[in-house]
Amino acid sequence: MAPPTGIVPDTGMSIHHIDGVCDILDKQPGFWVVNKKSGIDFHADQGTPGLINHLNHAFPAESFLPVHRLDKDTSGLLLVARSPEAAQQLSTLFAEQQIRKFYLALSDKKPKKKQGWVIGDMAKSRNGNWKLLQSKK
């Protein structure tokens, strides 16, 4: 049985819902655009299926490969490849920053004094950790 289908308001874009897990916002020949819900693991964890497992179960005729990920408590858009070739091409585009990621943090609490905005680009440091780069402004 196929997941329910609806229409995204004002776009006419077809959308598939996988209850409590994600929405499929767009389907391209090499990849799908998926809106992952908060609280869903990207990778399977201790017997709990991850996003890719949910997609493979909902669409058994498809084969999905991860290109990038979001943490369990983070919601947002992901590109999910439909072939190893597409996964490699998308990974290369991310690495070359031809596809860019943007994050927006929302909170229902007032930040503490030592907290604040993080604005700028990030890069890997020599030890492999991510570091915030100096602003160009």
Q: Residue by residue, what is the 3-state secondary structure of the chain?
A: CCCCEEECCCCCCEEEEECCCEEEEEECCCEEEEEECCCCCCCCECCECCHHHHHHHHCCCCCCEECCCCCCCCCEEEEEECCHHHHHHHHHHHHCCCCCCCCCCCCCCCCCCCCCCCCCCEEECCCCCEEECCCCC
Structure confidence at residue 4 (pLDDT): 45
Look up the CATH superfamily of 5-102: Pseudouridine synthase (3.30.2350.10)
Quote the CA–CA distance of 39 and 63 in Å, as a whole number. 23
- Which listed residue (19, 71, 108, 121) is catalytic? 71
Structure confidence at residue 7 (pLDDT): 45
Structure confidence at residue 111 (pLDDT): 65
Structure confidence at residue 16 (pLDDT): 84
Q: Is 41 a catalytic residue?
A: no
Structure confidence at residue 17 (pLDDT): 84
Amino acid, single-letter form, for residue 81: A
Structure confidence at residue 93 (pLDDT): 94
* Residue pLDDT tens, the chain, 137 long: 344 455 444 555 557 888 889 999 999 999 999 999 989 998 888 888 999 999 999 999 999 999 999 988 889 999 999 999 999 999 999 999 999 888 877 777 766 766 666 666 777 777 777 776 766 55
Amino acid, single-letter form, for residue 104: L
